[in-house]
Each structure stands twice: as structure tokens, then as C-alpha cells.
């Protein structure tokens, strides 16, 4: 009786494992020179400005939120 039950549980577990998983990535980047990332690296100035904007914006969010809360509390 226990052998049948454990076999049934094993079959159910195997059926769950065979479910197709969704793809992890939706884009493909060819591994050639200057094309290993999904953005342009050839113009260094443009890349630096984009990186400063992206990381600077993320860094500024807590400070902007804190200033907003302080201003809101004093009003």
C-alpha cells in the first residue's frame, strides 16, 4: 500500500518537473567586438553621460524623497 502511494507521489513530482519554463531572456546579443552589451559603447562621451544620468538619478531618489517629506512635514 505504501509502495503504491510513494510511486504515485513520484509520478506527480515527475509530471511537475516536465512543465516548460519560460525563457529567461527576450533578446540576443551577438558576441562580436563592440557588440557584447545591449547598448552602444563606441561613443565614450555619450556612454558616460548616460551612465551619470542613470546612476546619478538612482542615487538622488532617496535625497529627493527625504526633502519632500521634510517639506511636507513643515507645511
41 contacts: CB under 8 Å, gap ≥ 6: 34, 47
Indicate the pTM of the whole model. 0.47
Cell (9 digits) for 29: 546579443
Q: Say what the pLDDT of residue 58 is.
A: 95
Q: Say what the pLDDT of residue 26 is.
A: 72
* d(C-alpha 48, C-alpha 70), whole Å: 33
Q: Say what the pLDDT of residue 11 is.
A: 74
Which range marks the domain in which residue 37 is found? 2-74
CA angle 11, 16, 20 (to 5 degrees): 135
Q: Say what the pLDDT of residue 21 is.
A: 57
Q: Which residues of the chain, if any, have pLDDT below 50?
A: none
Instruction: Specify whether the CB–CB gap between 22 and 16 falls below 8 A.
Output: no
Amino acid at each position: 500500500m505504501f509502495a503504491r502511494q510513494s510511486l504515485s507521489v513520484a509520478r506527480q513530482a515527475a509530471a511537475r518537473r516536465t512543465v516548460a519554463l519560460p525563457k529567461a531572456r527576450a533578446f540576443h546579443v551577438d558576441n562580436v567586438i563592440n557588440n557584447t552589451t545591449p547598448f552602444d559603447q563606441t561613443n565614450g562621451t555619450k556612454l558616460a553621460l548616460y551612465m551619470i544620468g542613470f546612476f546619478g538619478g538612482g542615487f538622488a531618489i532617496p535625497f529627493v524623497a527625504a526633502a519632500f517629506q521634510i517639506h511636507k512635514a513643515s507645511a
